[in-house]
Amino acid sequence: MGHPIPRCPHFNLNQSMKRNVVLIIAFILTAFTTQAQTSLSILQTPSGKSVFPPLPYAYNALEPSIDSLTMSIHYSKHFKAYYDNLMKAVSGTPLADKTINQIFANIADVPVVVKNNAGGFYNHDLFWEVMGPNSGGLPTGEVAEAINKSFGSFDNFRKAFDDAAKGRFGSGWAWLIVKEDKSLAITSTANQDNPLMSTAEVKGIPILTLDVWEHAYYLKYQNKRADYVTAFWNVVNWQAVAKFYQNALK
Amino acid sequence: MSQCERTSWEFPALPYAYNALEPYIDAQTMEIHHTKHHRAYFDKFYAAIQGTELESLCMKHIFSMVSTLPLAVRNNGGGFFNHKLFWKVMGPNGGGEPQGALAEAINQSFGSFEKFKTLFNEAAANRFGSGWAWLIVKEDGSLAVTSTANQDNPLMDIAEVKGFPILALDVWEHAYYLKYQNRRPEYVSAFWNVVNWSAVTERFEKASQ
Ligand SMILES: [Fe+2]
Ligand SMILES: [Fe+2]
């Protein structure tokens, strides 16, 4: 409650009245800010939330596969910085009225600061969504069928995804995507690039992703990225992946 | 580069104890960095060149034609060389400012030591993703600050800005995450307390030979 109340010589507001005024001002500010942020099409991301998206579960929900401290720093520092820097970079520019997909589709035309932070924002948003507590196991239904059709078996798919995640040198992401012909493919991208970007070597709509920047695993796994990749399968939320698969087919 | 040949490859010991750079760089980070990351680059690099004609060449020669070589040579050869230099240009009782000819060259190329530091800090902070910041001696003898992605370096033929590296800072997250997490700028500030300027001066003299 840092809002100063202007001193008024005629009325002596008591404490509870002061608090009410503060709450009303805070409410108006919040409503105004939310309104302003909602108008930014750029924030329409996989989670469908247009403001800084809440983590869909507690920081400790993915223990022991991904530790609470990592989740906390990853969400509240790294992800938040991408969000803030993206807002700063697009606010007041024509880019704020574009959807994030439109920006990715013409990524070579935007400043590199927009590219990096839009990627960082979108990629992490999807990453949080495709993980969850009480997860892991195998996919079912149509996405399972599509995996079998494109990769032969779930094990073949998993091995190819593991190789993409382990083989990405430096910082980046591994992806399961739906290509234009509706088949599935695995790919990886450097830094905060993603397969929606017009510059991507392999393009498609992401339905599963894994962050292989060292910040995603270093506190718990240090140099052992392979162990982190193995642990990831315990927290994949296949229902969410199925939802993104259905959306991608539309 | 005919004079640059070698007969053996060795994984270098760290020139000081793992805790020698405390509190700026913590012992656990140094130990994992040296025994796991650096070691893995060396092992993979050696596996990539063993039994090939590259085995008898020096790093400088290999880097000068790295675009024509397998990616494993570029990534792991870079990782091997870069870390070896990084260990060398740090040390206990480091910090302060360079003296003599190096100090003069810094003033001449950047205006002042402070201006050089600012440029170097920016190069380290702005390298997006994994990579390195460098102080190099260019072909014309002037100094320049640059940065490279991943394990690339300014000796490589693919480098945008080429030169002989005399100071290096690792800005992969593994270099600072245990102690500094997302706060890379704090790690970069701390680095100046462990720079071994006499080692940097030696590199500087070697560059002009
Ligand atoms: Fe991340
Ligand atoms: Fe390193």
Q: What is the pLDDT at residue A49?
A: 60
Pick from A170, A190, A219: which is nearest to B177 by CB? A219
Whether the pLDDT of residue A44 is over 80: the answer is no
CA of A195 to the centre of ligand 1 (A): 16
What ipTM was estimated for this complex?
0.95
Q: Nearest ligand, CA of residue A78?
A: 1
Q: Which amino acid is at A146?
A: A
Residue owning tokens 């991943």:
B150
Instruction: pLDDT band for A5, please (50, 70, 90 cuts).
Output: very low
What residues form DSSP beta bridges with B167? B135
Neighbours of B123 (CB within 10 A): 22
* Burial (Cβ within 10 Å: 0-12, 13-18, ≥19) of residue B175: buried
CA of B33 to the centre of ligand 2 (A): 6
Q: What is the 3-state secondary structure (H, E, C) of chain B?
A: CCCCECCCCCCCCCCCCCCCCCCCCCHHHHHHHHHHHHHHHHHHHHHHHCCCHHHHECHHHHHHCHHHCCHHHHHHHHHHHHHHHHHHCECCCCCCCCCHHHHHHHHHHHCCHHHHHHHHHHHHHHCCCCEEEEEEECCCCCEEEEEEECCCCCCCCCCCCCCEEEEEEECCHHHCHHHHCCCHHHHHHHHCCCECHHHHHHHHHHHCC
- Determine whether the interchain pair A171/B181 forms a contact, defined as Cβ–Cβ distance below 8 Å: no
Instruction: pLDDT band for A48, please (50, 70, 90 cuts).
Output: low
CB pairs under 8 A between A and B: 54
B7 to chain A, any CB pair closer than 8 A? The answer is: no
What's the mean pLDDT in B168-172? 98
Among residues A159, A170, A207, A177, the alpha carbon closest in space to that of A192 is found at A170
Q: Which residue of chain A has the CA closest to B38? A: A223
Output the CA torsion A80→A85→A88→A93 (10° steps).
-120
Q: What is the pLDDT of residues A177-190, one digit of tens each?
A: 999 999 999 999 99
Residue owning tokens 């600072």:
B176
Q: What is the pLDDT at residue A63?
A: 98
Using an 8 Å CB-CB cutoff, list residues of chain A that contact chain B: 73, 77-78, 81, 112, 116, 169-172, 190-192, 213-215, 218-219, 222-223
Residues in contact with A78: Cβ distance below 8 Å, sequence separation at least 6, in sequence order: A120, A124, A215, B182
Q: Which two tokens stand for residue B21?
A: 């750079």
Pick from A170, A190, A218: which is nearest to B177 by CB? A218
CA of B155 to the centre of ligand 2 (A): 18
B130 to chain A, any CB pair closer than 8 A? The answer is: yes
What's the mean pLDDT in A101-112? 96
Q: What is the pLDDT of residues B69-85, one digit of tens each?
A: 999 999 999 999 999 99
Neighbours of A221 (CB within 10 A): 19
B31 to chain A, any CB pair closer than 8 A? The answer is: no
Answer yes or no: are the C-beta atoms of B102 and B200 closer than 8 Å: yes
Whether the pLDDT of residue A174 is over 50: the answer is yes
Among residues A215, A209, A170, the alpha carbon closest in space to that of A186 is found at A209
**Backbone conformation region of residue B171, classed left if phi is above 0, alpha if psi is from -120 to 50, else beta:** alpha
Among residues B149, B143, B144, B135, the alpha carbon closest in space to that of B191 is found at B135
Pick from A169, A191, A219: which is nearest to B128 by CB? A191
Q: What is the pLDDT at residue A41?
A: 58
Share of residues in chain A with pLDDT > 70 (%) = 80
- Determine whether the interchain pair A170/B37 forms a contact, defined as Cβ–Cβ distance below 8 Å: no
Return d(Cα B167, Cα A73) in angstroms, integer.
31
Q: What does DSSP say about strands A172-178 and A205-211: parallel, antiparallel, or unpaired?
A: antiparallel
Q: CA-based Rg of chain B, rounded to a whole angstrom?
A: 16
- Determine whether the interchain pair A213/B128 forms a contact, defined as Cβ–Cβ distance below 8 Å: no
B185 to chain A, any CB pair closer than 8 A? The answer is: no
- Determine whether the interchain pair B178/A77 forms a contact, defined as Cβ–Cβ distance below 8 Å: no
CA of B34 to the centre of ligand 2 (A): 8
Neighbours of B184 (CB within 10 A): 17
* Burial (Cβ within 10 Å: 0-12, 13-18, ≥19) of residue A250: exposed
Residues in contact with A81: Cβ distance below 8 Å, sequence separation at least 6, in sequence order: A120, B182
Going A35 to A37 to A41 to A44, the CA torsion angle's sign is: negative
Whether the pLDDT of residue A232 is over 90: the answer is yes
Choose from A211, A218, A228 for mutation: most chain B CBs within 10 A.
A218
SS3 A208: strand
Answer yes or no: are the C-beta atoms of A124 and A78 closer than 8 Å: yes
CA of A209 to the centre of ligand 2 (A): 25
Lowest-confidence pick of A31-35, A102-106, B75-79: A31-35
Return d(Cα A185, Cα A199) in angstroms, integer.
17
Q: What is the pLDDT of residues B176-194, one digit of tens each?
A: 999 999 999 999 999 999 9
- Determine whether the interchain pair A223/B174 forms a contact, defined as Cβ–Cβ distance below 8 Å: yes
SS3 A28: helix
Side-chain-facing half-sphere of B126: CA atoms under 13 Å: 12
- Going by the DSSP 8-state scheme, the letter that residue A93 receives in this structure is S
Q: Which residues of B touch A67 (CB under 8 A)?
A: none
Q: Which residues of B touch A81 (CB under 8 A)?
A: 182
How wide is the angle at C-alpha B194 spanned by C-alphas B193 and B199, nearest 5°?
130
